[in-house]
Amino acid sequence: MVDKLVPNDPRVQSKTATIRGKTYHYLLAEPSTSPPVDTVILLHGFPDLSFGWRYQVPALLALNLRVIIPDNLGYGGTDAPVEVEPYSLKSLSDDIAGLIAHVCGTGVSVIVGGHDWGAGLAWRLALWHPKIVRAIFNACVPYFPPREQYTPLKVIIGAGKLQNFKYQLQFQGTDVEKEIQGKEKIRQFLNAIFGGKAPDGSYGFTTDDGVVFDKIAELQQTPLVTPEELDYYTEQIARNGIHGPLNWYRTGEISYKEEIALLKKGLPGLRFNIPALFVAASKDGALPPAMAQGMDEHFDRLTKVEIDASHWVLWQGAEEFNQHLTNWLQQAVLKPGKPAL
């Protein structure tokens, strides 16, 4: 059985920091042998928390690594601005760069890992702040370079492309946050997103329909989290509701306009020459492994692996994920004799 953190685990410290005018809550895990050989920051996705990395933190501590795990903007103990603009990938990248500097000191480079939206953020952090990212690993969301033109997702889907993103149209709208209010509904919503099934075997969330509101109350408990873990998720997500987390889906045009500056830089600014690991999940309906085809051309030192698991590969495939991550860190990133931070 894979070791994992529990809510309020004594192996991590709960901390806050003011970053660019916002309060960020983060967990800090320090190895028992001091000083650490390096620092890792882990970025979660939707609708998750720093706690989403509970299966990975003990494995990273075993490698004598310091681990920083924030609640991303909109989540848990971190602020949740109502406006959309703070959730652009550049704005979020600037926030995370500020948090890294707060914990590690100005100019220190770290290893960055992400899952789902956290992976999308991690790729952009490495583009906007390349000097502070010395290695990168991401799950489920492959790297896509900045776009040369913006096309709304509704238009792309209407043209028959990216049908696996149809649920995002629901998330971009207002129906979800109108329906999902209060702890009971939030718990049902999370259970649906995390793979809860109805007695007839159907799901309460699909990539075609999004959240099936009239079904989520009848779902059985998802096997991917314990009832106690789902309680913890519910309490934390309910602090700010889901408007902030959904704002991550509403920034496409804003991020496109900001990233024009990256395109103007051209290569090598859009090429990764650092160690990189991408982990695809075979059963991820929203982000099938085929979406990673073509990303290799943007990397000099890319390792790609695939795990037979759903989108929640960090939990469902924890043992295999941790093994791939540990091997990659030891072989491609951590060097004997590297000065401690």
pLDDT digits (tens, 9 = 90+) for 243-254: 999 999 999 999
**What percentage of the chain exceeds 70 in pLDDT?**
98
The catalytic site residues sit at 116, 311
- Residue 270 falls within a domain, yes or no? yes
So what's the pLDDT on residue 269? Answer: 73
Q: Is 138 helix (H, G, I), strand (E, B) or coil?
A: strand
* Mean pLDDT in residue range 280-307: 98
- Here the CATH number for the domain that contains residue 325 is 3.40.50.1820
- Residue 196 falls within a domain, yes or no? no
Burial grade of 23 (CB within 10 A; 0-12, 13-18, 19 or more):
exposed
So what's the pLDDT on residue 33? Answer: 79
The answer to whether 116 and 44 are in contact (CB under 8 A) is yes
Residue pLDDT, tens place only, 23-72: 999 999 999 877 899 999 999 999 999 999 999 999 999 999 999 999 99
- Residue 3 falls within a domain, yes or no? no
Q: Measured between alpha carbons, how far is 59 from 11 in angstroms, rounded to an integer?
A: 12
- Per-residue pLDDT band for 338 (boundaries 50, 70, 90) equals very low
Q: Measured between alpha carbons, how far is 66 from 60 in angstroms, rounded to an integer?
A: 8
Residues shown for the chain: 341
Neighbour count for residue 193 (Cβ, 10 Å): 22
Report how many domains make up the chain. 1
> Whole-model pTM above 0.95?
yes
Phi-psi region of 195 (alpha: psi -120 to 50; beta: other; left: phi over 0): left
Q: Nearest to residue 141, comparing CAs of 278, 44, 273?
A: 278
- Per-residue pLDDT band for 267 (boundaries 50, 70, 90) equals low
| Boundaries of domain holding 288 | 13-149+250-333
So what's the pLDDT on residue 229? Answer: 99
Angstrom CA distances, 15 to 23, 50, 124, 329, stand at 10, 12, 25, 26
The answer to whether 15 and 28 are in contact (CB under 8 A) is yes
pLDDT at residue 337 is higher than 80 = no
- Residue 175 falls within a domain, yes or no? no
Single-letter amino acid code for the residue at 43? L
